[in-house]
Amino acid sequence: MENHVELSNVSKYFDAERKFHALHEVSFGISHGEFVSIVGPSGCGKSTLLKIIAGLDKPTSGEVKFSGGPVCGPHNKISMVFQAFGLFPWRTVLENVEYGLEMRKVPKDERRNSARQYLEIVGLAGYEHMYPKQLSGGMKQRVGIARALAVEPEVVLMDEAFSAIDEVTAEVLREEVAEIHKQTGKTFVLVTHNLSEAIELADKVVVLSSRPARVKKILPISLDRPRDRTHSLFVHMHMDILHLLKEELENTLIRHKLRGMKELEALHDMERPKDEAQPKQTLAAT
Amino acid sequence: MSVEKQRALTLSLTGGVFAGDKFASCLWIIPLASGFAVWEVVTRLGMVPSSNLPTFSSVLVTFFSSIQEPSFLLRIAHSFMNLICGLFLAFSTALPLAFAAGSKNKFDCTLTPLIMLFGALPDLSFLPLLVLWFGPGNVAAVIMASVAGFFPIYFTVREGTKNIPRELFDVTSVFRSDRLSTFTKMVLPAISPHMFSGLRLAYDFAWEIIIAIEIATRVAGIGNFIEGNVSAGSLQSGFAAILAIAIVAIVVDRAFFGSLESWAKRWA
């Protein structure tokens, strides 16, 4: 079957001079109902990638396809959960959840009803008339999730959706998201820097390299759900990904170090007779 | 909801620093009343010549008889109308410019330094020119008031626009809000607390300017009334007019702008 979302050779430069390279020919597919986690070293361009899938940002080259058609701007069937929740503080919980439907010109009664339904799903029935500032972080993100689901998307994108929430609350929320994924069969894409979270939720973890981000590895996760973090395979998987990311981080550090060393050497070279310029080789060997 | 949160909520809803304590919220009456009492005693005892300061009681008497005179009320209405027109002019020019400056960095860099320069000048220094161009009348007063009101509105709205989190713009895009909805349902509510604070400040500034202009150029408002009576030696009437302005200014500030502001901040 054709992939639900398909990224082919997505590259992104942030500037016209093509100096600031964020993504380099990223390609992978996401099938219908799949839960994909994207991990990578911090600042590698994970969120940029998600924004491109959401149609919020355009790739410099390459293409994102959704259900076979190119994504060129935000799509009705693609919804998003935001890192800092993205709630409108002047709207009540209910009005926030209604927002997406309101933008689609759904009649008031109808959108109110479905907003209530989704609030119930995320366990916030009874909080309809509160303002976001009266809620805890976890509750705010529940509102964010209800809002994303209320527009009945096929794909839910989550940008570091659990990282601004305390660990215990986040764990509960993850379990609920896993349950929602199971119940609704929607496609989920989660960008995160939390490896356990990535493994716990995903059918597939996409590991990105450091900037410019390339797909370093794609690991299918076939553990039974609900997942046990102490399971040996889980631990193994965690170690694997951690190893990959550390490797990336070290590569970056070495690159930076080398660059620094080369500059230093260049300085030394100027002070030194030419035939003594040997240490370069030993350095490259490390 | 925690106790603290509830308390914070009542605090913000009532808009008062002393919310929940009715007694404490009335304490300000004591120094005010003592001030009037001292005034009365000092003038009664003849410690201040009555040609410089009339007794407080005589001011009150004049005040209550003045506010029954249509001509007196009309003067207040006249000043108030000039002020409102000036405020309207300030609001309608400052708002679009502030939006543009708050959302487009290049526009901000082009315009804001100029506005800051202009704002650093004492507003009233332009008055003689305005009088030369438009004559000593309502037009000059309205323009002056709008100049005074422009700055607080411009800077608060610009700041408010700049402070809208980027994420909220992403939210509007993801849910496919059109430009108009983004403005009316996101930008406008996001900046409304700033906007109303600015409007309230502008109102306070504009009162000062309006009275100053009326005194300086003899526009037939309440400022001119004060000036005329004081120079004619009728200090009671002068004080009565000041009292009347104070009441109008404070009541409108609290009842209208204050409640507008706390309404706009109900969620903040």
Q: What local confidence, expressed as pLDDT, does residue A149 receive?
A: 96
Element (H, E) at A182: helix A167-184
Nearest residue, CB atoms, A80 vs list B165, B174, B192: B174
pLDDT of residue A283 exceeding 50: no
DSSP B256: I
Interface of A with B in 142-181 (CB under 8 A): 151
CB of A88 less than 8 A from some CB of B: yes
pLDDT greater at residue A120 or residue A277: A120
Q: What is the pLDDT of residues B226-243, one digit of tens each?
A: 999 999 988 999 999 999
Give me A9's structure tokens: 């050779």
The DSSP secondary structure of A101-157, one letter per residue, reads HHHTT--HHHHHHHHHHHHHHTT-TT-TT--GGGS-HHHHHHHHHHHHHHT--SEEE
Contacts of B172 in chain A (CB under 8 A): 103
Place of tokens 């009540």: A92
Q: What share of chain B is helix, strand, coil (3-state, %, to 5)?
A: 80, 0, 20
In chain A, the residue whose alpha carbon lies closest to the alpha carbon of B266 is: A90
Q: Give the best residue of B3, B163, B173, B175 to mutate against chain A (max A CB count within 10 A).
A: B175
Task: For each of the domains in chain A, give its residue range(s) and CATH number, in order of start.
Answer: 5-77+153-285 (3.40.50.300), 91-146 (no CATH)
pLDDT of residue A129 exceeding 70: yes
* Interface touch B266/A132, C-beta < 8 Å: no
Q: Give the best residue of B174, B184, B194, B261 to mutate against chain A (max A CB count within 10 A).
A: B174
Interchain CB contacts (distance < 8 Å): A and B = 64
Residue A79 to chain B, least CA–CA distance (Å): 6
Q: What is the mean pLDDT of residues A58-80?
A: 94
In chain A, the residue whose alpha carbon lies closest to the alpha carbon of B189 is: A90
Is the pTM higher than 0.95? The answer reads no
Q: Show me where the domains of chain B are located.
A: 72-264
Nearest residue, CB atoms, B176 vs list A74, A131, A132: A74
- pLDDT above 70 covers what percent of chain A? 91
Mode of pairing for the β-strands spanning A21-30 and A187-191: unpaired
A184 CB contacts (<8 Å, ≥6 apart)?
Answer: A149
Nearest residue, CB atoms, A103 vs list B177, B192, B266: B177
Nearest residue, CB atoms, A103 vs list B1, B170, B176: B176
* Interface touch B175/A103, C-beta < 8 Å: yes
Q: What local confidence, expressed as pLDDT, does residue A266 receive?
A: 62
CB of A8 less than 8 A from some CB of B: no
- pLDDT above 90 covers what percent of chain A? 76
Q: What local confidence, expressed as pLDDT, does residue A251 receive?
A: 81
**Residue A32, Cβ density class (10 Å: 0-12 exposed, 13-18 middle, ≥19 buried):** middle
Nearest residue, CB atoms, B170 vs list A86, A133, A151: A86
Q: Residue A167 in contact with residue A156, Cβ under 8 Å?
A: no
Nearest residue, CB atoms, A134 vs list B5, B167, B172: B5
Q: What is the mean pLDDT of residues A136-140?
A: 94
Mark the ranges of chain B whose per-residue pLDDT is less than 50: 1-3, 8-9, 11-16
| Assigned fold of B72-264 | MetI-like fold (1.10.3720)
**What interface predicted TM-score (ipTM) does this complex get?**
0.86
pLDDT of residue A142 exceeding 50: yes
pLDDT of residue A277 exceeding 70: no
In chain A, the residue whose alpha carbon lies closest to the alpha carbon of B8 is: A134
Nearest residue, CB atoms, B175 vs list A84, A99, A133: A99
CA atoms of B26 and B255, how far apart (whole Å)? 17
Q: What local confidence, expressed as pLDDT, does residue B264 receive?
A: 85
**Residue A79, Cβ density class (10 Å: 0-12 exposed, 13-18 middle, ≥19 buried):** buried
Show the beta-strand stretches assigned E in chain A: 5-13, 21-30, 35-39, 61-66, 69-70, 78-81, 155-159, 187-191, 204-208, 215-220
3-class DSSP assignment, residue B218 = coil
A89 CB contacts (<8 Å, ≥6 apart)?
Answer: A131, A132, A133, B267, B268
Q: What is the mean pLDDT of residues A208-212?
A: 89
* Interface touch B165/A84, C-beta < 8 Å: yes
In chain B, the residue whose alpha carbon lies closest to the alpha carbon of A159 is: B167
Contacts of A88 in chain B (CB under 8 A): 168, 171, 186, 189-190
CA atoms of A254 and A252, how far apart (whole Å)? 5
* Interface touch A82/B177, C-beta < 8 Å: no
Contacts of B185 in chain A (CB under 8 A): 99, 102
Place of tokens 């716990």: A200
Q: What local confidence, expressed as pLDDT, does residue B268 receive?
A: 81
pLDDT, averaged across chain A: 89
Q: What local confidence, expressed as pLDDT, does residue A264 receive?
A: 65
CA atoms of B252 and B249, how far apart (whole Å)? 5
Q: Which residues of B touch A (CB under 8 A)?
A: 1, 5, 9, 165, 167-168, 170-178, 181, 185-186, 189-190, 192, 266-268
Q: What local confidence, expressed as pLDDT, does residue B174 receive?
A: 96
Q: What is the mean pLDDT of residues A80-102?
A: 96
Instruction: Identify the band that residue A118 occupies on the pLDDT scale cut at 50, 70 and 90.
Output: very high
In chain B, the residue whose alpha carbon lies closest to the alpha carbon of A51 is: B170
